[in-house]
Amino acid sequence: MPSKNPAFSRAFGDAGNGRPQAQQYGQWGAPQYGAPQHGAPQYGAPQQYGAPAPYQQAPYTRTTTKYMTMDDVVQKTGLSFLVTVLSAAVTWAVLPESLAWGLTLPAVLVALVLGLVIAFKQIANPVATLSYGALYGIALGAISEAFNSIYPGIVGQALIGTFGVFAGMLVIYKTGAIRVTPKLTRWIVGALFGVLALVLVNLVAGFFVDGGLGLRDGGPLAIVFSLVVIGVAAFSLLLDFDMADEAIRRGAPAKFAWYIAFGLLVTVVWLYLEILRLLSYFQDN
């Protein structure tokens, strides 16, 4: 069955279902060298002593490969989120504000490079995923502290909103209310590139016009744009859920759960930051 997730297709497009195929024995056709033949022995044919009879050979060899399960996905994802939250909490509660802001930009840049390497090379490794979570946790702690100092209580609201969207999309996916089809995947991927292009254009326009295109100035257009971005991030969760299910169906190795956890972490962090931004717009108006 072809994959509906483009990233997943790259990783497993040629792997079949990922499970080892049983070796074939006893095929009909021309006898192989040393294979038992009926009738009189051939002149000069080598005799084999101590060789096991064909029926005594095992039809397969037990594999030691551990295949990914949903428990693996839940455990790895939970651990990744825990590391991110702890990193954010330490940055907020322990580090001085000046030091936290000084570490934010380097942490974001390193996390961005690391995330691109993980995504394009599809690295399924606990060190890579947890390092990404810890680096982004530093930035999240500093950003959350800054927002909360200006708008008290906004971080709690953003966390509740993020959890609500995550839980809601999980229910939608599990109940089949929205099915992840190739057409839906193309729409979501296209929307992702569209949002990225608009953000970059708005950033460049900001160097020439105050507020750029108005996508981040807190006005009505900025509110609409944030709602669109939140919608795209929410639908991206469906692709992450589908990737996990398809990896399990195809018999992906257990370590691939770290790549699934990375994808979910990226989407949820993005969703949280956009909800935080949207709530700040409402506070200003």
Domain ranges of the chain: 70-284
pLDDT tens digits, residue range 130-182? 999 999 999 999 999 999 999 999 999 999 999 999 999 999 999 989 999 99
Per DSSP, the three-state class of 137 is helix
Alpha carbon of 158 to those of 115, 148, 211, 230, 272: distances in Å? 23, 10, 24, 12, 6
Alpha carbon of 97 to those of 104, 149, 158: distances in Å? 11, 11, 21
Q: Which residue has the higher pLDDT, 19 or 188?
A: 188
pLDDT tens digits, residue range 231-240? 999 999 999 9
- Are 4 and 242 in contact, with CB atoms under 8 Å apart? yes
Q: Which residue has the higher pLDDT, 12 or 179?
A: 179
pLDDT tens digits, residue range 35-58? 444 444 444 444 444 444 444 444
- Global pTM reads 0.76
Supply the pLDDT for residue 216. 86
pLDDT tens digits, residue range 62-101? 556 788 999 999 999 999 999 999 999 999 988 888 888 8
Tally Cβ neighbours within 10 Å of residue 201: 13
